[in-house]
Copies of this chain bind each other. A is one copy, B any other.
Amino acid sequence: MTRWLDEEQQRAWRAFLDAQQVLQRGLEAQLHDEADMPHGYYELLVRLSEAPERRLRMAALAEAAVSSRSRLSHAVAQLEQRGWVRREACPDDRRGQVAVLTDDGYAALAAAAPGHVEAVRRLLVDRLTPEQLRQLRAISEAITRV
């Protein structure tokens, strides 16, 4: 009954799994070593830094960073601890919380970014042709598409 993967599909899947591991491990290690933050936190800082006034509702931030609510809660608590983010009450919804990137948080992001971008290049971008990068985008969007 099960539609197993054929040889071709199997190979592609395995190759992808391995690549994903290598990539993720590499990025995580670089950020940990040079900026002392996990990749997930970096993503949060990025999304916040790009938001108007550097602030976002928790739910919006969670969606932007493809994160669960729970994960975000824990992460923001940690970021607040470090002084990189602060929480504010949401004016028009008393349930709501708004995460705001502090100046220190922005500085931490700015300090981490060059090394991180270099790692992204070294591990991914510079290894692919422009054509492959376009393909990767199309593939990724097919995966994400609802």
Give A contacts to B, CB under 8 Å: 1-5, 8-9, 11-13, 15-25, 43, 66-67, 113-114, 117-118, 120-121, 123-125, 127-128, 130, 132-145
Contact = CB atoms under 8 A, between A and B. Distances in A.
Contacts of A117: 2-5
Given A5-B117, A43-B17, A124 B137 contact: no
A35 to B, nearest CB: 14
Contact of A144 (B19, B120, B141): B19
A67 B124 CA distance: 20
Given A66-B21, A133-B12, A5 B140 contact: no
Given A2-B113, A114-B2, A19 B120 contact: no
A128 B123 contact: no
A8 B111 CA distance: 23
